[in-house]
């Protein structure tokens, strides 16, 4: 049985992806404008999300529908800790906290883990496929804007156990397509992925005010006043 879940997820989240690309913080990032304190805050929020998501996935790793999509090499928690130590030092935990939108995102992940764990797949897809795609560009942008060496401070984007990202994404999509889920469950997973995109947008929006403080309203406006076409809506996007 083929659920075509990867295809459903891609087409079902294209619009959300375009919207996510058009959040101020993200648009500035793409244009090479990254503020160190703001980026560190972003990683702190991501830590809250990934620690929750990865604990939940591990708890349910033997679930018949999660097991085929459970890949330890995706885990980001340890890499995020390395980055947070880099920015904040050994006591990084005293310096990070979930922004209001991040907290809502984290609460949602916990709720689906407790009630309908298969929906965790919508969250895993949105984050990990994104990290393996556009995320790779963000690593280069952050490294150059913040004058960082190698993956110091950007190890979040470094998948040391996934040397061939395109091959891995193929494997992940094949596993999604082969997942024996019925249409109703597939639709629910796509809906959850869309919600995950929204949470990610809100989380990025929480950072806008810090970025504006750092770079000034005028530059922020000039970098964010045009609509960017969606990377996953283009006719030819696979790489
Ligand atoms: C400016 C920001 C972004 C850019 C330039 C970008 C770019 C891309 C590109 C080029 C792909 C296609 C890769 C491929 O087919 O192999 C992609 C896929 C993807 N991105 Fe993004 N992305 C951005 C932001 C985001 C954000 C914020 C998220 C979610 C948090 C996200 C999630 C995804 C996902 C889930 C896919 C996989 C689509 C599929 O099913 O094939 N992206 N991105």
Rounded mean pLDDT of the chain? 96
Q: Is the CB of 22 under 6 A from ligand 1?
A: no
CA 139 to chain centre: 13
What pLDDT was estimated at residue 45? 98
Q: What percent of the chain has pLDDT over 90?
A: 94
What tokens were used for 66?
A: 């999660």
Instruction: Give me the CATH topology for the region 5-224.
Output: Heme Oxygenase; Chain A (1.20.910)
Which residue puts its alpha carbon closest to atom 27 of ligand 1? Answer: 20
- To test the ligand 1 pocket, which listed residue (9, 10, 15, 17) has its Cβ within 8 A of the most ligand atoms? 17
What pLDDT was estimated at residue 1? 63
The model's confidence at residue 2, banded by pLDDT at 50, 70 and 90, is confident
User: Residues 8-23: pLDDT tens digits?
Assistant: 999 999 999 999 999 9
Q: Is the CB of 9 under 6 A from ligand 1?
A: yes
CA within 13 Å, CB half, 160:
9
Q: Is the CB of 200 under 6 A from ligand 1?
A: yes
What pLDDT was estimated at residue 228? 86
Checking if the pLDDT of 236 tops 70, the result is: no
Name the more confident of 213 and 236. Answer: 213
């Amino acid at each position: 049985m083929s659920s075509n879940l990867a295809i459903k997820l891609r087409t079902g989240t294209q619009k959300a992806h375009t919207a996510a690309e058009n959040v101020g913080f993200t648009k500035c990032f793409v244009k090479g404008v990254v503020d160190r304190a703001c980026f560190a805050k972003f990683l702190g929020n991501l830590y809250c999300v990934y620690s929750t998501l990865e604990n939940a996935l591990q708890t349910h790793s033997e679930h018949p529908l999660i097991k085929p999509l459970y890949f330890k090499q995706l885990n980001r928690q340890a890499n995020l800790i390395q980055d947070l130590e880099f920015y904040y030092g050994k006591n990084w935990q005293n310096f990070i906290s979930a922004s209001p939108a991040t907290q809502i995102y984290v609460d949602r992940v916990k709720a689906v883990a407790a009630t309908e764990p298969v929906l965790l797949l919508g969250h895993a897809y949105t984050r990990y496929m994104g990290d393996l795609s556009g995320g790779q560009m963000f690593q280069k942008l952050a490294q150059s804007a913040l004058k960082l060496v190698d993956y110091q401070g950007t190890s979040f984007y470094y998948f040391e156990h996934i040397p061939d990202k395109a091959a891995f994404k193929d494997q992940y999509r094949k596993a999604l397509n082969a997942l024996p889920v019925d249409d109703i469950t597939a639709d629910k997973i796509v809906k959850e992925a869309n919600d995950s995109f929204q949470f990610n947008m809100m989380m990025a929006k929480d950072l806008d005010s810090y970025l504006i403080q750092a770079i000034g309203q005028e530059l922020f406006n000039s970098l964010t006043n045009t609509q960017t076409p969606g990377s996953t809506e283009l006719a030819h996007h696979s790489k």
